[in-house]
Amino acid sequence: MNDFILAVHGGAGALRPDLLASDEETVARSALTECLAAGRDLLARGGSALDAVESCVVWLEASEPFNAGRGSVLTSSGRVEMDAAIMDGATRSAGSVACVSRLAHPISAARLVMERSPHALLVGEPAERFALEQGVALVDPRSLVTRARREQLERARARPRVSLDHDELGGGTVGAVARDASGHLAAASSTGGMTNQLPGRVGDSGLIGAGTWADDESCAVSGTGHGELYMRCAFAHEVDALQRHAGLELAAACERALARVLALGGRGGCVAVDRGGKLALPFTTPGMYRGWIGPTGEPRVAVFADDESC
């Protein structure tokens, strides 16, 4: 039996077997399985929850099917603008970056903001400059753009509309939560945002309390869905508050928080783990890329609503 917990997501949305290309689903499932295995090995060696969630998100940022790092969706101007956040439940320290275009792994820059600056959020070119000063190599933004995302933007422009990435292609925002062997919690999220969004738009993933939250006294949460509505509901912190103040179990707290988003017209999901090691992976969409480490230590991955759950 494991004494640690790990879960990841790759976006919630209109994921149905008849809409997904089989190769796309296979690649996404494989990436989730591989990142879970790497995170499991790190935790099994005594690694921290913070290291585990960063490691998993870095892995998924490098996985083209997902909307983070390479494969991020494009703004109305045809650029990649990414947001990411990480939070340490042991200290409630947090760091995030937003509207960055030249970082292969925004989540690692977010951790640098947390650990090497007096701030919790840096935005745009100054955030990239800070990362460079900390030894992070900048990349050509064009290296993060894929043909599939360019085609997706053209479809969105033709309608015209701003759309959730996972309602157009399979993979979306990525995130991870973990409880390590010492009982500490952590959460991390990373995203390219919404297709055809206005330049400068910031979503929930990079905002502490909206899409990302961790506190050893309650839970760790990473959300995925309509960012503006997650912000208006302070979604991730709402899960925490429903546990601490209303005494709800984790699954019920997540469902109640998602209901608040749904009441405003938004959809989505999350992965969450609480201080006692309970895990929840709910969503209000047809599917959500998700994975977790079960009691056997074997990575388990699901996509559709009728897939096996944890």
Q: What is the CATH number of the domain that holds 299?
A: 3.60.20.30
Please give the C-alpha separations between residue 160 and each of 144, 153, 163, 167, in angstroms, as whole numbers.
Answer: 24, 10, 10, 15
Q: How many residues does the chain have?
A: 310
pLDDT tens digits, residue range 250-261? Answer: 999 999 999 999
pLDDT tens digits, residue range 195-219? Answer: 999 999 999 999 999 999 999 999 9
Structure tokens, 17: 């077997």
Q: Which of 146, 173, 195, 285 is catalytic?
A: 173
Residue 56 inside a domain? The answer is yes
Residue 31 inside a domain? The answer is yes
Task: Quote the number of domains for the chain.
Answer: 1
- The predicted pLDDT at position 1 comes to 46
Residue 154 inside a domain? The answer is yes
Residue 233 inside a domain? The answer is yes
Residue 41 inside a domain? The answer is yes
Q: Report residue 279's pLDDT band, with 50, 70 and 90 as the boundaries.
A: very high
| 20 has a pLDDT exceeding 60 | no
Residue 130 inside a domain? The answer is no
Residue 111 inside a domain? The answer is no
Specify whether 173 is catalytic: yes
Out of 22-26, 60-64, 101-105, 155-159, pick the least confident: 22-26
Residues of the domain holding 264: 5-90+144-304
Average pLDDT, the chain: 92
For the segment 90-112, the average pLDDT, to the nearest whole number, is 98
Residue 102 inside a domain? The answer is no
